[in-house]
Structure formats: C-alpha cells, structure tokens
C-alpha cells in the first residue's frame, strides 16, 4: 500500500510517499480502507518535534513511536480482528487514531475498535474525517475547561481555523453570545457560522478594548497569557487550545498561579472518547454542526497539505483524500 512516512524530524520535506506492507487486523483492531484523513496541528508538531516535549513521546533523536502522520480517519472497514464486536467489513467508519499511532495518511490504517464510530449516511468521508480531533478539542475546551453557560460572552481567537470554526458553532449551540476574532477575509464565514460579533484582528486589539469576556478560547496563540487575562471578566475563564511553545509553557507554568484569583486560566488537552465523538456526530446529523473544509489534497500531496496547515492560514479544515 502507499503511505506517507518520515524517519527524521524536520519540515514537510522529511515526508516520503512509500510502499509499505498492508497491515493486518488482530485482536481488537479494525482494518480501515482509508477514504479521507484530515490534517491537524498535531501532525506537523509530531513531524517537526515542536515543542521539544514531542521528542519524549515519539523519540528523543529521531521518531520511533510515530513515523506516519494522520490522526483523523474516515473510510470503509476492510477486516476486523477476532475480538471486534461493533464493526464488520463494509461498515463506513470515522474516528481519531492517535492511540494506535497516527498513520491515516495511507491507503489502509489499523485502528483500535474503541477509536472508531459508524459514519452518518448523510455525511461525506471528507466531512467525517474533518470532525474528530478539531471537534473534540473545541467541545472539551468550551465545555470542560471553559465551563460554558448559556448567556455568557464568549470570545474565540482564531475563529477561522479547524478548531475555531467548530468552536463558533458549538458556542452558539450552548447558547453563548459569540465574538469571533479572525482576518478580514474570514469575517463573513464567521458570521455565517453564527458569530454575533466579528473582530478583524488587524484592525482591532480586543485585549485593549473595554469589553470583558466570560470565556476566551484561544485557538490562535500569538498573544501572551497576560493579554488574555486582561480581557477576561472577574470570574472569566481562559482556555488555550492552540499556539506555539511559548503560549503552551505560559499556560502550563503560569496558568495555575494566575488562577489563584477569580479568573481561571488553563491549557486544553483534548482526550479522545466515543461519548464526545457520538455527541458531535449527533449534532452533525441534526444540522447543528458542520465541517468547514478549506482545501483538499491527494495522498501524493500530503506534504503540501501539512505545510499549508503549518503556515496557520487555513480557513477551516484541510483534508487528504485517498
């Protein structure tokens, strides 16, 4: 089978299209014939070992644990292991495959049964592949860390990316008054998704205005944690789900200290679980949530897809179509 692999850390140029052995499903594994996979920040972080902590997970000097990218998958069940009870060959499935070592940038992927869910008939493979990680990150950031409540003033910084587009819709689903921060060319998209107010970050600095927010979901992490704290209401919450190493360490190291008062500040670590995946699936089926797909690439163009996402200007999700 064809697969995208890498044997050293670095930019997108380290990715290689190779012929690899077709995996075999054993035990609780499901062999999926991949139809689509989506690109997440986790992919280029694994590829480039950024932040450095990635090396303690995947290999200190070179990648050993994760050598193929692709954490989201959608496809058709080809075969199942002897312990699988929920799926059979021919089922259309989707899910997040981090626990089974990434690897959906390939013609076939062996995933654990617990990572997959049946795909809705009214959702394409591309839309299904776009949903798991970004959708669960937005959901858990708003609900679990942000503790979102109806009527709250919620600001989403980075509202036009993969996580951001889901976050705008989910915040409206929870009954919040949503302010989306994005570029001028993505403002209409944010309004279409349900944002009540839209800020062009090039024209207005929301951290310097008089507005205060009950919850800030920071998908675009270019600002310091102190900037975000200044924009919070006295009992407001800040949830960091995107940014560079600087923003991550600020949230982890200074977040607990800055949370000693009324405001709470923390990083979001999305955790895959079928309950949340099913909730997102139900919202999509009901027409209350949709995947915004910016660009589609072939498997042979996977390096270009990762490079595009790494540049930080995607207007929604980027999908690799196999």
Predicted confidence (pLDDT) per residue in 115-138, tens digit: 999 999 999 999 999 999 999 999
Q: Which one, of 142, 157, 244, lies nearest residue 200 by Cα?
A: 157
Q: Do 94 and 119 contact (CB within 8 A), yes or no?
A: yes
Q: What is the structure's pLDDT at 247?
A: 65
- Residue 28 three-state SS: coil
Supply the pLDDT for residue 220.
Answer: 77
At the topology level, CATH places domain 133-267 in: Rossmann fold (3.40.50)
Question: According to the model, what pLDDT value does residue 161 have?
Answer: 93
d(CA 26, CA 195): 46
CA distance 157 to 309: 17
Residues with Cβ within 8 Å of residue 89, at least 6 apart in sequence: 77, 78, 79, 80
Query: How is the chain split into domains, by residue range?
Result: 2-131+291-321, 133-267
Give the Cα separation of 50 and 312 in Å (integer): 15
Position 225 scores a pLDDT of: 82
- Using DSSP's 3-state secondary structure scheme, residue 295 falls into strand
CA distance 38 to 77: 18
**How confident is the model at residue 255, as a pLDDT?**
64
* Confidence at residue 191, expressed as pLDDT on a 0 to 100 scale: 97
pLDDT at position 316 is 95
> Is 286's pLDDT higher than 80?
yes
Q: What is the pLDDT of residue 222?
A: 73
CATH class entry, domain 2-131+291-321: alpha beta
pLDDT at 254 over 70: no
Q: Does residue 274 carry a pLDDT above 70?
A: yes
Integer Cα distance of 40 and 182 in angstroms? 19
Rounded Cα distance between 95 and 286, Å, is: 19
Strands, E assignment, 64-145: 72-80, 92-96, 108-112, 116-118
* Average confidence (pLDDT) over 189-211: 95
Confidence grade of residue 249 (pLDDT, cut at 50, 70, 90): low
Rounded to whole angstroms, the Cα distance separating 315 from 296 reads 12
* This prediction's pTM: 0.93
What mean pLDDT, rounded, does the chain reach?
Answer: 93
Q: How far is CA 17 from CA 64, 71, 81, 278, 299, in A?
A: 18, 17, 27, 33, 8
Confidence check: pLDDT of 258 > 80: no
Q: What is the pLDDT of residue 221?
A: 65
């Amino acid at each position: 089978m064809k697969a995208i692999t890498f044997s050293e850390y670095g930019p997108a140029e380290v990715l290689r299209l190779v012929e690899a052995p077709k995996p075999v499903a054993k035990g609780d594994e499901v062999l999926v014939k991949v139809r689509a996979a989506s690109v997440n920040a986790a992919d280029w972080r694994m590829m480039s070992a950024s932040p450095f902590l990635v090396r303690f997970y995947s290999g200190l000097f070179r990648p050993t644990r994760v050598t193929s990218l692709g954490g989201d998958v959608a496809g058709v069940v080809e075969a199942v292991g002897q312990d699988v009870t929920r799926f059979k060959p021919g089922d259309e499935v989707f899910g997040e495959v981090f626990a089974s070592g990434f690897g959906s940038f390939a013609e076939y992927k062996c995933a654990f049964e617990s990572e997959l869910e049946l795909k809705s008939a009214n959702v394409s493979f591309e839309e299904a592949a776009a949903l798991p990680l970004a959708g669960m990150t937005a959901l858990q950031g708003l609900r679990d860390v942000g503790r979102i409540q109806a009527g709250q003033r919620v600001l989403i910084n980075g509202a036009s990316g993969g996580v951001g587009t889901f976050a705008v819709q989910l915040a409206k689903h929870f009954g919040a008054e949503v302010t989306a921060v994005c570029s001028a060319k993505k403002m209409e998209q944010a309004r279409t998704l349900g944002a009540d107010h839209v800020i062009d970050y090039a024209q207005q600095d929301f951290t310097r205005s008089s507005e205060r927010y009950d919850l800030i979901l920071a998908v675009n992490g270019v600002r310091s944690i102190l900037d975000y704290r200044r924009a919070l209401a006295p009992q407001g919450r800040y949830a960091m789900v995107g940014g560079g190493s600087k923003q991550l360490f600020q949230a982890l190291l200074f977040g607990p200290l800055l949370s000693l008062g009324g405001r709470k500040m923390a990083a979001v670590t999305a955790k895959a679980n079928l309950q949340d995946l099913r909730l997102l699936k139900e919202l999509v089926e009901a027409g209350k949530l949709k995947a915004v797909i910016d660009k589609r690439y072939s498997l042979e163009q996977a390096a270009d897809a990762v490079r595009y996402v790494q540049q930080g200007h995607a207007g929604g999700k980027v999908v690799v179509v196999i």
